[in-house]
Every structure is written in structure tokens, then in C-alpha cells.
Amino acid sequence: MLIAFVLLYLILFVGIGLWAATRVHRTRDYVVAGRSLPLYVVTATVFATWFGSETVLGISARFVKEGLGGIIEDPFGSSMCLVLVGLFFAAKLYRMNLLTIGDFYRNRYNRSVEVVSSLAIIASYLGWVSAQIVALGLVFSLLGDGGMTPAQGIVLGASIVLLYTFFGGMFSVAWTDFFQMMLIVCGLMYLTWLIAGEAGGFAAVVAHAQQAGKFEFWPAPEAKDILAFVAAWVTMMFGSIPQQDVFQRVTSARNERIAVTGTLAGAGLYFVFAFAPLFLAYSASIIDPAMVSRLIENDPQHILPTLVMTRAPLVAQIVFFGALLAAIMSTASGTLLAPSVTFTENILKGLLRRSLSDRQFLWTLRGVVAVFTVLVTAFALDSDSSIYEMVGNAYKVTLVAAFVPLVAGLYWRRATTQGAFVSAFAGLSVWLSLEIFGIGGIWPPQLAGLLAAIAGMAAGSLLPQRIGRRDLPEPHLRHHLHPAGQHVPPT
């Protein structure tokens, strides 16, 4: 019965995705939904894209082991990221009417900075999308009760997400996100009420967690712990700002006000409901402590689904796995589309010797989506990292290579192409050196890389200029950004 309901759910949402695909007639429809989404859909797609496998399985498992101090990156850093985007980036980026975040680096700096930043953005998605595919494999394996291996589940899950993302792009992603958000919210509210009753009440679970020290948030007053705390926070808070999926949700809105309001509303919803899986997973410590002690060291990601499978009635199991699949699929579809669009627009398009018609470009985009799905599926099959680690590590590269040029390009008039190039080079060099050789001492590699990127931007912009904008493409091929920041139509 559970499997039957899950199959019905999958068929329903693939159908919604394919229905939404009928609205795709041109590239702009596929990438930014024709800039037509209303407030409730923008809010839903911001929420649903962030509310993925790491929220339900990764964060909850980490909280059971380490408490609030172990989940600084997500949900605290990720929620603050969306707040910052809504307050300081959404309006400015929406006015530019760009197709991708990579277009900003090209228009503000030059083609070289566009390529470097876009490659960093694309690389960051490998771990994030793979985490969603791994989670789908885990869910299908659990539902199959041994009849399907996690590897087979990974391939099946990737195929399902690819099906509607391939045809519908951002329209399919947005409208499936809307319905999936409603399922996630309603499902988690019901499960929280049910599991709280099993554990002795909401207050009893909170009191138990407090006595166990799970609410200790701030680091110990030692330099190493403070630096690690700051590094974990800024990795998600800043590193996930220069991301194509966030940019797409901003620019898919019907107008600038909706872009800002929808992003902030999605951030608030995400932060509130991200704590529901924490509550559910920790309740297992009271309901079935033997199961938790068995899974906590080797496979804590199984704690929450195992609790539901063994202790909850069938209706609750259907609700849980429906909400879980909704969370994973909504994130997976958005994060499959984003790097594919960035690669096609900002890397591949510049390598082609001839211009493409809009229809040719649209089908090229779809082809890249299929290829990227194969790559992340292979990466997921080969990875042995936890879901939380895969997502957290994904944003280090954009933190050191793309964040500083984005902020400086928007808010510092003296930022130059040379400064952006030096910033990305310094940030990547310092980060990779510390990661590979481990010579940073107490300094987390990504935090040292961020400081190097800031110094590189300042030095590169203020020193005599030797790198200019001479490698910009022909004017008739690109949108332009006036030095003062106003969008100017193509000539």
C-alpha cells in the first residue's frame, strides 16, 4: 500500500511537470519561466528548492549527533543567505534582465571573469545535486525493503527528475515546487503532532534535548573553535549567494517587488520548517533509544525514516515519504537545471563558432541537462560522503571564487576587471593550497580563501590596471551593463 501511494505521487508530480512544460515556447520560458511567476509560486519555489534531502535527512542526523552547534551551515547560514539575497541582491539583479548569474560577471567585468566564475558555480552544484540523488536512492531502497539497492534507487530517482526537468525547465520546476511545498508543510505539521504524542509531548522532547546539551549553539571561547564556527556560517550564508538557482528564482518573478518579497518569504518559511525534521529525529531518542544508538555512528541519516517505518501508522508513512520525496525532487530538479543553464549560456555558447537560433539554443540546453544528470548520477554512485557534508562542501568554491566579485561589482564603483580576476585567483589558490597540503593551522581553508579574495579584489582594483575589458564579445551578441549600474538594451 505504501509503495502504491508513492508511485501515485510520482506519477502525479511528473504529470504536473509535463503539464507545465506545455508553456515553454522559447529559451526565456525554459530558464526563467518567462519572468511571469506570481508571489505565491516564487515563495514556494524558493522554499522548496532549499528544503531538500539535507534538510530532512542531513540536518536532522547532524543535530542528533552534535546539537545546534553542528548545524551552523544549514539551516542558519542558508536561511541568512536568502535574507541577504532578498535585501541586497534581488532588486539589483532583477533590473538587469539577465539570463544567468554568469552574464553579470561578463557584463560587469569581461569574458575571462565570466568563465572562471561560471566554472566555479557549475562545480559547486556537483556535490549539491549528487546529495539529492543519493537521498532518492536511499528512499527508494528503504521503500523497496531490500528489493532495490541504493544504486538502483539513485538511477531511478535521477531518471524521474530528468523526465520533467528536461521538457519543462523552470516552468516545471516552479509549479511542481508549489505543489510540493504544500505537501511538505502539511506533512511535517501532521508528523510533528503525531510523533510528539508518541514521545510524551512537545515540551518533553524539548526538555530532553536541552538536558542533553543539544541547544548549545555558540562555540567555545578559543580561536580554533571561533574560526571554525565563522567558516561554517559564511560558507552557506555567502557561498550560496552567487548561485544560478537562487538567481533564477529572483528573475522568474513577475516584477521586482515579487522578486524581493518572495525571496524573503521563502527564507522565513524555510527557517521555520527546517526545525521540524530536527524535532522528529530527536524524538527517536525518546521513542526508540536502542535504534538511535545503533544508527548514530554508522548511518544517522536512517534514523528518521527508520523511526517512521517502524513506529508510525501507514497513513503517517505515506505522508512522510510523500513529503520527503517532495523535498528531494523539488531541490533536485532546480539544481539540475541551474548548472546546465550556466554551462550552456556562459561556457558553451562562447565556444561555438556560429550563433544559434532560439530553438536550437533551447534544445542544446535540454541536451546539457541530460548530460549533467548522467555526470551527477555517476558522482553520486561513487561518493561515500554524508548528505550534509556533500551540500556543505559544495559552496566553498563559490565562496572563494565568485562571491567577492559579485558584491564588489554591485556595490563598489572602483571594482575592476583586474580586481575580479585577482580576487578569484587569490581565493582559489589559498583555499586549494590549504585543503590539499593542510598548512593552515587553525584557519579553515575556505575562510582563509575568502579573506584572500577580498584582499585580491582591493589590491587588483586599486593598483595600476594591466587587465582590461578588451575580451568582451561583440556588442550585438550580449546585453550591456552601464558602468553606473543601469541596464542598457543591446545595440
Q: Are 469 and 110 in contact (CB under 8 A)?
A: yes
Q: What is the mean pLDDT of residues 27-32?
A: 90
Confidence of residue 5 (pLDDT cuts 50, 70, 90): confident
Confidence of residue 472 (pLDDT cuts 50, 70, 90): very low
d(CA 195, CA 284): 9
Percent residues over pLDDT 70 in the chain = 92
pLDDT digit string (tens) for 142-190?
Answer: 777 767 888 888 898 889 889 888 988 888 888 888 888 888 888 889 9
Report the pLDDT value the prediction gives residue 481, as an integer from 0 to 100: 38
Per-residue pLDDT at 475 exceeds 60: no
Q: What is the mean pLDDT of residues 260-265?
A: 96
d(CA 386, CA 296): 13
Instruction: Give pTM, 2 decimals.
Output: 0.86
Per-residue pLDDT at 387 exceeds 80: no
Report the pLDDT value the prediction gives residue 388, as an integer from 0 to 100: 56
**Average pLDDT over the chain, rounded to an integer:** 86
Mean pLDDT check: name the lowest of 52-61, 141-150, 287-296, 385-394. 385-394
